[in-house]
Structure 1
Amino acid sequence: MHDLIRDITLCILFAWAIGLAAHFFRQPLILAYLVAGFVIGPYGSGWVKSDESVSTISELGLIFMLFMIGLEIDLKKIIRAGRVILIAAGVQLVGGCVLGAAFFMAIGLKLGGGGFDALYLAVACALSSTVVIVKVLYEKRELDTLPGRITLGILVLQDIFAILFLAVQPSLDDLQIGVVLLSFLRVGALVATALVLSRYVLPPLFHQIARQPELVMLGALAWCFLIGEIAERLHLSREMGSLVAGVALSTFPYALDVTAKVTTLRDFFITLFFVGVGMTIPVPDLATVKLALVIAIFAVVSRLVTTFTPLYMMRQGLRASLLPALNLAQISEFSLVVLQTGIAANHITKETSSAASFAFVILAVLSTFAMVQSDWLTRWAIPLLKRFGLRDLDHGQGGEAGHDAGHGAARRIVILGFFRTASALLSQIEQQNKELLDQISVVDFNPNVYRTLAARGQHVVYGDISNVDTLVHAGVGNAEIIILSVPDSLLKGANNEKLVRHVRSINPTAKIISTADLLRDVEDIYAAGADYVTVTRISDAHALYEVIEAVDQGLLEAKRAEMDMRLAERREVLP
């Protein structure tokens, strides 16, 4: 027991120390934890030698990590997932597994006869890293963009797929229809038990202890390990049970409160898990490095093929098809979970798992840089893809736009970029001066915006507003009023100051209306050539002050009724 406490102490100290270095060098923390485990583990310095300690630390971390993953799975979002996300995720998962199994068998790995290395690697390569992707998209403020939503939707469905695989995994040695059905029945019994308890037993209990943070946290842990033990009794696994416990808990009213209170424990146990995985990684030989590189290359290529293809076939445009493929081009931390269960069941060799772990590290680093530079990569790749004959949504409109621009038939008002403010503006114009819509042209590269506006009969040009050629072909040179309403935080490849300069160079006489995120940007945008700059925080503040006045005058209900009526009358593209 004393050795275990000492080993956990070493894990945390080295994870923290190497994590600090990773933070300063802008590397993923997961990479730091793996390195820390390798340094102190049996294949590094040997400070942690006990197989029992390594196994216990890894299992504890794995149980709690899966519990937290379950807590963050939003079943409502899965149910509401659109056709595009469902089809893209289905093709990506099935296609990735089929291609993976065929490829890894072709290079000599086993599939059957007691060895399932090819199957486990296929599944591992079909899953993407939630930790890496969400962190980068959050920092880039792209979670709420169309490619961001597609990426997150596919990630959630990948987690569901992993749950199903973990249900079948214990029966791979005797994979018969009856055995598989029995596994699913056991999972069904576990899920039903967890859902019933979380629906009828947990809410009143948590209601009583809601104001006792330590009891809420303790209750969440008790729930996690209880369902884990039930799963173990059903001949599944504690890890599977902890995942189901998290998913069941995510459906009841106190889920957000529980998640907030166990976040610190989540970080602690996730750290233990990845340090534990790092301790199992041996010093790589040449064969392991070669296999790791092959796995990494296959993961990237297969993700591009299985993600880009269905999105492109569903006419999402080259950009919205490429970005999710780039975002998803790595191996998941969940893949390490799958591989660990494979080792525990003697389904795969430690050499295979080690190679996959190295591939995970390689892609965690490279994909972070690729995602940060994804806009530049897509701008480079799109012209190349067009040369190979792939058509974008702007196919056939360039000549028409150019013709309009050359003959003075361009719209009087051009809206560059289409987000919520532009959506609200079109709805306002539709209510107050519908005839003005015929004089408006919208330029944007969101395929949903393009299709919705085209279906409504609104003139729309598909294109990247940071590209000068797009501005010229869109008729900016002949417009009288040019509106830039997208904030800098959402613009890709430019900002409002640069856009104003480009627009002013193309059209010296137009009235340019721009927006500013920060007060200090206003003067720079005016200096660039804008005629009027809006600052949305000012109009928001005015609206909030009116609400405060309504409260003081006892007129809040009337104010709300007025707002409800105004909202009911609107028909926006981006609700």
Structure 2
Amino acid sequence: MEILFIFAAYLFGLIAQRLKLPPLVGYLVAGFALAVFGFDSTDTLKTISDLGVTLLLFTVGLKIRFKNILSKEIIGGGFLYTLVSSILFAAIGYLLGYGVYGALYFGVMLSFSSTVFAAKVLDDHDDLGAYYGRIAIGILIIQDIVAVVLLGVSGMETPSIWAFSILALPLLIPLLGRLLNRTGHGELLLVFGVFLALSGSWLFKSVGLSDKLGALIIGILIAEQPKSEEVGKVLWGLKETFLVAFFLQIGLMGLPNGNAILLVGLFLLILPLKGLIYFFSLKLFRLRNRTSFWSSSVLFCYSEFGLIAGAGAVSAGILSNDVLVMVALLVAASFVMLGIANKWMSDIYDKFFAFLDNEPEAKHTRDHLPSCIGNTKYLIVGMGTCGTSTYQFLSESKQSVLGVDADPNVIADHRKKGRRVIYGNAVDTAFWSKCNLQSVQGISVCLPVLDEKVAVVKKLRKLGYQNKIDTYYNYDDEAEILIKAGVSELVSPLKLTGESLGRMITYGKEPEKIA
């Protein structure tokens, strides 16, 4: 049975990829197709799905620092959105005849956004560390806290007195750090990463808290350890493979009756309103329009938690089973819509919402844009390992170089080391409009995701930038795509490494000094 599931996921994922859609859209459609032919989920699929979600949330935690989620825009915006949207959906539930208590429960249930889906979209764009991505994840953590309360109200899961012991977890940080450092690299680090994720999940569940929240918190606890990024990298392939089961399982929940399908259509029409509530909740805390829009764009879907909470509500007699089946289709359909929309979200903003960029510049906010870049000759977009090396080379060559990154933590770390790095999202038209690109002789795009590189290069060319743009590629088919987008020069890291090793073995220890 599972072999058929995997083949269906591959087939529909391949079709989605050919249509230039995220493969996860194909996985969802595969689940629906299997359900139409009478297939049901299996215990094996559910176990793999749970592992995938646990690993995903653990790796999300590895990119979050506690101090970044304790901000007014996250706490204030998160609770304000939850309150307003809960009232909206509760009113609709009351009109549908769910009763006062059932309507309130229904309202809170539909106000939640999917942690798994939002994290997956952000991870695919390498934006978990970006400011807007961090806000989105922070709000989802706020919702997870509300979720624990909701499960307790339904009688499905009540935290025990031992839940307070979770507050002592930070005391384990030094021990976990030492273990990480002694683990080394490769497969043993992979095993330790899986152990940590499952341990956090088990620990929280054993005291009556959300097991998924546990995996996230354990990740956050070790996020500032030097090897946290490496842990995330070694878990990447395993996490992505297991997550296929999650999206298949959502689709395999089947199709509801005709009346429920009409309700699904109604709630899908309300999705933009959900996005608007997010947008204005964040705007109250003086975020830029574009930052508020981007954060909202990964949150305006319904949540798989609605299914978990719905099952508890059905068991407690608060809601009927028909409502649960309807919510299952609603969650899956919203995933498909958001998966498609996020592929072109930057273009959608530029085409239909560019007028939002006409706003007074708010000073002293973490997402404010620089007024200018001076007489900078070279820009480095993305200040990770590749970007930092490029910056360092140009700086040591006495060139006027400026780094650009969307992660405030990365920016702060570079500034401590004396590097000139500013905040900016590379697909933000407003950011580039503030740069005097005519004086810039070259731009190095050092972003890790192919789609992001292509989007940045196309945007720069569309804005009339004619000078050099260079980047790197990992596979030969990527090179052709980047050249068509407008890249001037490309380099393959592995080929460059091979050439350097060849020079080193032939001429000596310092190949960088060889002409």
TM range (shorter): 0.5 to 0.7
Equivalent in the alignment of 1:69:
53
* Alignment partner, residue 537 of structure 1: 493
| Map of 1:80 onto structure 2 | 65
Superposed CA RMSD in Å reads: 6.1
Partner of 2:443: 484
**CA deviation digits over 1:70-121, x for unaligned, max 9?**
4544396487144367544434542333223311332352899784243244
Is the 2:93–2:107 Cα contact (8 Å) retained in structure 1?
no
User: Is the 2:379–2:442 contact (alpha carbons within 8 Å) kept by the matching residues of 1?
Assistant: yes
Distance 1:361 1:444, change over 3 A: same
- Residues 423, 392 of structure 1: alpha-carbon distance in 2 compared, 3 angstrom cutoff: farther
Query: Partners of 1:258 and 1:444 in 2: how far apart?
Result: 27
- Specify the code of the residue in structure 1 equivalent to 2:461: L
Q: Which of residues 455, 471, 475 in structure 2 aligns to 1:493?
A: 455
Give 1:346 shift. 2.1
Please show how residues 290-439 of structure 1 align to structure 2 within 5 Å.
Answer: 290-306=262-278, 308-309=279-280, 311-312=282-283, 316-386=287-357, 390-391=359-360, 411-416=374-379, 418-420=381-383
Q: Give unmatched runs, 5+ long, in structure 1.
A: 1-8, 42-47, 49-53, 173-181, 402-409, 505-511, 556-575
Contact map agreement 2:54 2:201 (CA 8 A) in 1: no
Structure 2: distance between partners of 1:105 and 1:32: 32
| 1:143–1:103 CA distance, 2 compared to 1 (3 A) | closer
- Which residue of 9, 13, 33 maps to 1:23? 13
> What secondary structure does 1:341 align onto?
helix
2:75 corresponding residue in structure 1: 90
1:520-535 correspondence runs (5 A): 533=489, 535=491
Indicate if the aligned counterparts of 2:380 and 2:404 stay in contact, CA closer than 8 A. Answer: yes
Q: 1:148 to 1:77 in 2, by over 3 A?
A: same
1:124·1:331 contact (CA, 8 Å) conserved in 2?
A: yes
8 Å CA contact retained: 1:67, 1:244: no
Match of 1:515 in 2: 470
Give 1:484 shift: 0.7
| Pair 1:284 & 2:268 matched | no
2:470 and 2:490 in contact (8 A); partners too: yes
* Cα deviation code 1:172-220 (max 9, x no counterpart): 9xxxxxxxxx745264579999x99xx99xx9xxx9xxx99xx99xx99
Matched, 1:502 2:476: no
Equivalences, count: 461
* Contact kept? 2:378, 2:441, Cα under 8 Å: yes
Paired-residue identity, %: 12
Are the structure 2 counterparts of residues 264 and 76 from structure 1 closer, same or farther at C-alpha, using a change threshold of 3 Å? closer
Tell me the TM-score normalized by structure 1.
0.58
Distance 1:315 1:458, change over 3 A: farther
Partner in structure 2 of residue 119 of structure 1: 105
Secondary structure of residue in 1 paired with 2:94: coil
Q: 1:376 to 1:417 in 2, by over 3 A?
A: farther
Change (3 A) 1:185 1:424: same
SS of residue paired to 1:107 = helix
State the shift of 1:357 in Å. 2.2
**Structure 2 alignment gaps of length 5 or more:** 17-24, 511-515
The TM-score normalised by the length of structure 2 is: 0.64
Q: Secondary structure at the match of 2:464?
A: helix
Give the conservation status (yes or no) of the 8 Å contact 1:311–1:321: yes
| TM-superposition CA deviations, 1:514-543 (whole Å, max 9, x none) | 324259969x979x896xx57473896389
- TM-superposition CA deviations, 1:452-501 (whole Å, max 9, x none): 79999979897978969956x74444x3x512111473446352797399
Q: Which residue of 1 aligns with 2:19?
A: none
> What displacement does 1:374 show?
0.8
In structure 2, do the counterparts of structure 1 residues 81 and 385 end up closer, same or farther at CA, with 3 Å as the change threshold? Answer: same
- Greater CA drift, 244-253 or 113-122: 244-253
> In the aligned structure 2, how far is the partner of 1:226 from the partner of 1:493?
41
Give distance in 1, aligned partners of 2:406 and 2:292: 11
Distance 2:321 2:487 in 1: 63
CA contact (8 A) 2:129 2:407 kept: no
